[in-house]
Each structure stands twice: as structure tokens, then as C-alpha cells.
Amino acid sequence: MKHVHHTFIIIILMFLITLSASAADINGEIKTFGSYTFGTENFRYGTSLQLTYNPSLSSEYYLMIDTTLKYQSDNNYFPIQINEFYLQGIATPSEDIDFKVGYLHLTWGASDAFSPVDNVNPRPFSQSISGDALDEKFPVLALNAEWYMNPTWSLEFVYQPEFRSNFTPDYVEKLFFGNQLAATAKIDPSQMDIQISKLEPEVSFSNPIWGLRARGKVGNVDTAFSFLKGYYLSAFPYQTDITLNADGSSSVIAKMGYPERSVLGAEFQGEIPGIAGVTFRADFALFIPEQWTNQITTHNPDGTTSFTPVDVFDEMYWKASVGADYTAEDNTYYNLIYLLGTPYEEGKDVSSYLFLRL
């Protein structure tokens, strides 16, 4: 109820600000979808209305309000969502600086939604790794400032004094955790009673999430290098207590947290020489996590107790996205992407994928 109450306050505030802005640009977009899975009689459908308000407060300052009203046949967790709500300054406080402050969507990476460099905004849970699904993000309270050092290069700074995690429904999180635990502890996940508690990191104005990103051109290639200091947006277990019962059932109490991480990123985008109409995109990210171990305590039916430490993060690892786009003469669009790890995967054992989109 508290989240809903805050949402309606923001919507009323948005409405009042919009009425008071004489030069407001109001835009709307309606999307609808439907899907049917043969053999399952599973028909999914939904529609959304996106409204964008962009009043000019002066020649240097603008207000951006972007909200979505959505309905879908299943998993309609966020029927009203604030996408962005921020104040923007152009060429201020000096001519070579732009800034945004408020609830922001920040997109890093050349590979669009598939970029492993894009780690600022949390996402809602999705069973799809399509571009549309990965484009769905939650805004974060942040300051984003960009200093244009010269005509070729700029330096971007992100300051985030509030932590916000990915959203995963409780039943999905328990299902995934139960299956992972079953492989480690050799117990039946269908007979687990799982309780999960989470401890969020202490992020504040004095202890923020922050990042730097330098971008420009090297020859004809758009290039960027970044560093992000923050935390994983999904929770990982650090203490798990399992009680095994004589009838084969089990009771699991898990404590989870959000490990600290640093991410070094590199982005490249440009045309392939000698091949007209082909653009390549490549993103590489080196993840440096804190040491994170899940201490599993198992209480057996015979009264004995065993202890099993399981390393969750014990070394740095790479993720990457490399691809090419091509538009044919008949306007057919081709997109080939190689992924080392999706946005939903973390750790040294991430998988490889190859996608061809038309």
C-alpha cells in the first residue's frame, strides 16, 4: 500500500506540473500484443499506454515525465509505472556540461539491451531475453552529468544515493533457489518449504553507487570506457539452514544479500570497411565481485549436522556481446549477436548464445 500511495502522489504531482507548463509537449503511444502457444491453449495478451510530458521551464531547463499504464493477462505486477521523472539542464551550469537529476533510465553499451556494460537500472523478471523484454527497466534516483571535454570526447558521471534491486516474484525466486539447492544438497525441491529474507546494502548520499564513462571516437569507431562501483541487483544466498525430515520433506531458511561489485566496460561501434550497410557493435565487461560464500547447514533426521560452504563468487569473470547489423536493399533488417552471458546470468560459468534476428 505504501508503494501505491507514493505512486499516486507522484502522478498527481505530474498532472499539476503539466497543467502549469504553458509550453508542454504531450506525446502518447499505445502498444498491444497477443501470443498463443500451440498445444497448451495458453493465450497471452496485453496493452499499454505510454505518456510523455516534456515542458520547457526556460531556455536551459526542461522537465521530463514519462509514465506507462499497462494491463496484461498474466503477471501484471506494475499496472502504473513511472519510467522517468527528472529535471534536465542543457549547457548549464557551464556551456560544456549537461545534467539530469531525478528518476532516470541510464543506458550504457553499444549493443542496446543485450549489453553487459548496462548495469545501472534494475529490471523486472521476464522469461524472455528479447530486446523488448530487456528494455524494460526501473528508474533509479540519480544524478547524471556529462562534461564535453572537446569536440571528440566527453566524460559522464553517475551518482546514485539509493539502491533498487531487480524484481522477481517470490514464487519464481523460491523455485529457482530450490532447484539450485537440490543440485547441491541432493534433496527433492518439490517437498521444500522455503523462507527467504534479504539484506539490502547500505547505500546513501555519503555511500553512493557511482560510475564514470568516457566516450568519443577512435578513428571512425565510436568508443567508450567505463567503471561502475556498486552492487549486484539480484540477491544471492550467504547463509542457508536446511532441516531434513524423515518423510522426505525439508524446511529451508535462507538469508540473502547483494554482493558488492566493480565493473570495467569497453564499447565499440562502427561500420565495417568495404561492406556497405553493415555496422558492428561490441561490448566487453569485466566483473570484479567481492568474495561471496553460501554457508549451508544441514540438520539430518538422525540428529547429525553437516556444514557445506559453497562459493557463489570467488573470482572475476567476463561477459560480452558482439554483433553486426545489416539492412538489405529491400529494407530487410538482419541482426547477428553472440552473447557471453545474458543480463540474468552472473558468475564465471555464464553460457554462450548466438542469435539471428530479422
Give the chain's end-to-end CA distance (angstroms, integer). Answer: 43
CA dist., res. 345 & res. 339, Å (int): 11
Does residue 65 lie within any of the structural domains?
no
pLDDT band at 4 (very low <50, low <70, confident <90, very high): very low
Does residue 219 lie within any of the structural domains?
yes
Kindly report, residue by residue over 221-243, the tens digit of the pLDDT: 999 999 999 999 999 999 999 99
Taking phi over 0 as left and psi of -120 to 50 as alpha, with beta for the rest, 303 belongs to left
CA dist., res. 143 & res. 14, Å (int): 20
The CA-atom distances, in angstroms, between 338 and each of 115, 128, 330 are: 11, 17, 25
Kindly report, residue by residue over 17-58, the tens digit of the pLDDT: 545 444 456 888 888 877 776 766 677 788 888 889 988 899
Q: What is the pTM of this model?
A: 0.86
Does residue 62 lie within any of the structural domains?
no
DSSP-derived secondary structure letter, 167? B
Does residue 229 lie within any of the structural domains?
yes
Does residue 144 lie within any of the structural domains?
yes
Does residue 3 lie within any of the structural domains?
no
CA dist., res. 251 & res. 270, Å (int): 54
Residue with cell 501484471: 76
Kindly report, residue by residue over 125-150, the tens digit of the pLDDT: 876 666 666 678 999 999 999 999 99
Q: Which domain holds residue 220?
A: 91-357
CA dist., res. 137 & res. 315, Å (int): 28
Does residue 200 lie within any of the structural domains?
yes
CA dist., res. 176 & res. 166, Å (int): 15
- Between 198 and 5, where is the model more confident? 198
Residue with cell 539502491: 163
Does residue 77 lie within any of the structural domains?
no
**CB under 8 Å to 50, separation ≥6 — which residues?**
28, 29, 30, 31, 66, 67, 68, 83
- Grid coordinates belonging to 104: 532516470
CA dist., res. 49 & res. 79, Å (int): 10
Q: Which of 36-45, 143-152, 157-166, 212-221 has the lowest mean pLDDT?
A: 36-45
**CB under 8 Å to 329, separation ≥6 — which residues?**
none
Counted domains in the chain: 1
